[in-house]
Structure 1
Amino acid sequence: MRLRTADSIVLSADYYAGVSGGPSYLLGHGFTGSSRTPNVVRIAERLRELGGSVLVLNFRGHGASQGMSTIGVDEVADVEAGVGWLRAERPDVPVVTVGFSMGASIMIRYAGLGANPEAVVAVSGPGRWYERGTDPMRRLHFGVETRLGRLVLHRAFRTRVGGGWDVLPASPVELAASISAPLLVVHGDADPYFGVEHARMLAAAAARSELWIEPGLGHAENAMTDQLLERIHGWVRRTVGTSATMNP
């Protein structure tokens, strides 16, 4: 599929049509991921099997999408394009945004900036910017902030990095308090990128949050199990159902 954002970036996306009446999921991958990453495909297929319809974005600068990655700043326009498509395609069911790592920060920023998904799920997301306390994040900063690192990201991961971290936008934890929708924060206590304090600060800031600290869970898409996906889908069904009143 192709979607066009408000700032005229053409995004590629994959759609998994589910059963009539099930929730609509908008999935956002982590940095250097894509809609065709095997674990992202597995997650989308499992959510469809559970009864959801799933639209998986390639964020700008990733996969076959146009543009340059801003590491979570301008990507809120990508989410807006995806949510708009789902609302037009399936106007009578809730839209739930689900993000992993960078995708989690984008989904939180999108909802916190005044958007209206029926629910938000943030998995392995950062609460604050510029985390350098772990080896994986120090390597990520080298990739994003140096010419050599950006060349490696482009050649090895098809990830094109533009601006984004040269400015300081409002962080996820700053915007979490403005989210009106229910927020589920999922984080592993074995996450090598972000410690559990990130998840705790996000959940503490949001008005309607639930926090799951998962023993032994690693990071983002690669750590997701079918059992955890089933629990997340169950939370969505309990929280928004299939006959929930849609946000205007």
Structure 2
Amino acid sequence: MSAKAEGRFHSVDVFPITRGPRRVTLRTSDGIRIEALHEPCTAHESDTAIVVAHGFTGSVDRPAVRRAAGVFARRAGVVTFSFRGHGRSGGRSTVGDREVLDLAAAVAWARSLGYGRVVTVGFSMGGSVVLRHAALYGPEEPEGPDTPDTPDTPDRSNRADGAHTDAVAAVSAPARWYYRGTAPMRRLHWVVTRPFGRLVGRYGFGTRIHHRDWDPVPLSPVESVPLIAPAPLLVVHGDRDPYFPLDHPRMLAAAGPCELWLEPGMGHAENAADDALLGRLADWLVGA
């Protein structure tokens, strides 16, 4: 599961911006069809679009995603989509690796609709994806002396394709890969790594999971944080998150410039984010 060849996106069924919702199919740079939905701001004209990256086993039509989109749409335009292997999108989930291509396609589509600012917010797995996406994709830079690559240099060859984000918020995101320190994460690893677990994922959670291991291992969330600037970064985490304890958001916050919100009483991801928090998130994204 490698994101080494992350390239330009392609889309199909893309229409001009309208006042009503528009559901489309996007094609990622590696040929996966991704379902996506655009909803204009419901309160006023907005120059900002918020692109929402859901958590593992989520989709564009899951109630928690629709609730978040409804709150965000009071402040900005909203693009939601289903990651590969989820909902009606094609392909199989790589649990955070090639999903960065899905997000890139959604961000670039949002820009094609005419928005001047496009920002991203991700939950859980989607939180790790928005961090990697922000590190790997940046605005076009002026020409200058070439900087030699090193083995740890991420592929940032996509600067001019409109897939960059202007601000990023990661909610309930892990800081590092392969974490198994909580019971929910041990169960998740069983679903992802075992053949019978993948059957449970497919038929129990509606999520089709790829059987291959990551090769090479993608840039981790904590390694991504220092590469995100100058885009503003917000890390949000609940102090009752059953998946990732508080050392994860603290590691992310210590890795580079960012704002950290530790939310008292909050659990995990979009299901645990109440409307008040979603409203604060949207205000931060629009104003960042």
Q: Distance in 2 between matches of 1:164 and 1:227?
A: 40
Question: What is the 5 A alignment of 1:160-199?
Answer: 160-163=208-211, 165-167=213-215, 168-180=217-229, 181-199=231-249
User: Structure 1 residues 146-155 or 18-27, which shifts more?
Assistant: 18-27
Shift of 1:22: 4.3
The equivalent position to 1:159 in structure 2, one of 170, 182, 207, is: 207
> 1:243 matched to which residue of 2?
none
Distance 2:102 2:62 in 1: 18
Aligned equivalents of 1:193 and 1:25: distance in 2?
A: 25
Which has more helix, going by share of residues?
1
Question: Residues 88 and 164 (structure 1 numbering): CA distance in 2 closer, same or farther, change over 3 Å?
Answer: farther
Q: Indicate which of 123, 126, 129 corresponds to 1:103.
A: 126
* Structure 1 runs (4+) greater than 3 angstroms displaced: 163-167
Instruction: Tell me the SS of whatever aligns to 2:227.
Output: coil
Q: Is the 8 A contact 2:49 2:115 kept in 1?
A: no
Corresponding residue of 1:21 = 46
- Matched residue of 1:217: which SS? coil
Count residues in correspondence: 236
Q: Tell me, in whole angstroms, the C-alpha distance in 2 between the residues paired with 1:130 and 1:219.
A: 18
Q: TM-score scaled to structure 1, two decimals?
A: 0.92
Root-mean-square deviation over aligned CA pairs = 1.2
Matched residue type, 1:87: R
Q: How does 1:1-248 map to 2 (within 5 A)?
A: 1-18=24-41, 19-49=44-74, 51-92=75-116, 94-115=117-138, 116-163=164-211, 165-167=213-215, 168-180=217-229, 181-207=231-257, 209-239=258-288
Q: Output one character per residue of 1:29-75: Cα deviation in whole Å (capped at 9) or x when no partner.
A: 000111111011000011112x2111111000000000011011111
CA contact (8 A) 1:4 1:10 kept: yes
Contact 2:121 2:127 in 1 (8 A): yes
Q: Following TM superposition, by how much is the alpha carbon of 1:125 offset from its aligned partner in structure 2, in angstroms?
A: 0.3
Unaligned runs of 5+ in 2: 1-23, 139-163
Matched position secondary structure for 1:200: helix
Pick which of 7-16 and 211-220 moved more. 7-16
Using the TM superposition, give the Cα deviation of residue 230 of structure 1 relative to its aligned residue in structure 2, in angstroms.
1.5
TM-score, normalised with respect to structure 2: 0.79
CA distance in 1, matches of 2:103, 2:256: 20
Distance 1:15 1:37 in 2: 15
Identity across the alignment (%) = 49
Which residue of structure 1 lines up, in the alignment, with residue 5 of structure 2?
Answer: none
Determine the C-alpha separation between the residues in 1 that align with 2:211 and 2:233.
28
